[in-house]
Every structure is written in structure tokens, then in C-alpha cells.
Amino acid sequence: MVTDLAEVFRLGTAKARENLDFRRHLASAHVPDAPFQILASEIARQTDCIACANCCRYSLVAVQPADIHRIATHLGITAEEVTRLYTVPDSEDPGTTILRNSADGCVFLDHNLCMIYDSRPKACRDFPHVTAGTHSLGSRRSSHDRWTPLCPILYNATESYKHLTGYHPRENHTPNPDRV
């Protein structure tokens, strides 16, 4: 398993086209998501996310009223204060509120630690969206491709899944769904 973040980034970036081809082959063969999700969930259990925190550095996290309330309770302030101090409107999606970010990442990120971990938003709790049986926008393979160079879980799960399905780069064949 590759855990060095620079190496994950280098390999994940270098394999972007290959991963796109892999995703297209999986879609054309109608390979179900569940085997990938099970594999990725197992890799997630073996991964120390505190050693990375890239999801906190590079994500724009949409927050729902329930998330804001949970954060407010955790911080001992009002939901209005959380909204004013820690969120901004999403300029790309009117009506959506996101957590503030700086060049260092999420407003609640301190080095590699989440200062509101026990009350973090649902989107953060679910990342990298690989729980078996989920079908959120974040669980789509195209979203995973974007995160492969940044997330050791998704990089390693994608590479393992290629092996599991018998996929070989640059071969024009359909993976065998019976192998998963």
C-alpha cells in the first residue's frame, strides 16, 4: 500500500488517463459499485487519515442546518454565530453554504487535526464516500478519480480494484465482473 503523500500524488496524477479508461470500462461492463466500496472501506480501516488530512485541505464542504446546529452545540455558540464566523455562501452553487477555507484548508483544520471532529459535517464524516450501499454524489467513480491523487484510500483502492477485476492498462477489453 502506498502511503507517502507525494508518491500518491505523483502516481495518481500520472495514472489519471488510465483511471478514466478504467472507470469507462467498469461502466460499460456494468460492474457494481459494492465490491469497490467493500475494498475501499477495508483500506480505509488500515489508513491513518491524520497523517494526510488532504480532504480537509482541498475540499469545499457544504453544510446543512443540522451540521451548523451540531457545530454550534459543540462550540457552545449559536447557529447564527457559526454561520457568520465559519461559513460563506458557495459562489458556484447559490443557496448552498460551505465552510470557510484558507490557503491551509478548512477553517477548523489545525495542522492535521479537525478541531470539531466529533461534530464535523456529514460530508466530512462520509469522506471518501466508499461505504458499501451508499450512492451519494461523492460516491460516484468520477468523484473518486478527482481525489485519487490526493487520497491514499482512493488511490490504493483504485489500484487494488484494477487488479481484482483483471484490468490491464491500454488493453481494449471489458473487465470480468465475475472476478469481483
Give pLDDT tens digits for 127-176. 888 776 665 444 466 677 889 999 999 999 999 999 999 998 875 445 55
Q: Which value, to the nearest 10 degrees, does the dihedral of the CA atoms of residues 33, 136, 124, 43 take? A: 0
How far is 140 from 161, CA to CA, in rounded Å?
A: 15
How many folded domains does the chain comprise?
A: 2
| Domain around 72 | 60-126
Residues 140 and 122 in one domain: no
Give pLDDT tens digits for 55-76. 999 999 999 999 999 999 999 9
Q: Is residue 55 part of a domain?
A: no
Residue ending a domain, choose from 126, 148, 167: 126
Q: Is residue 97 part of a domain?
A: yes
Residues 119 and 70 in one domain: yes
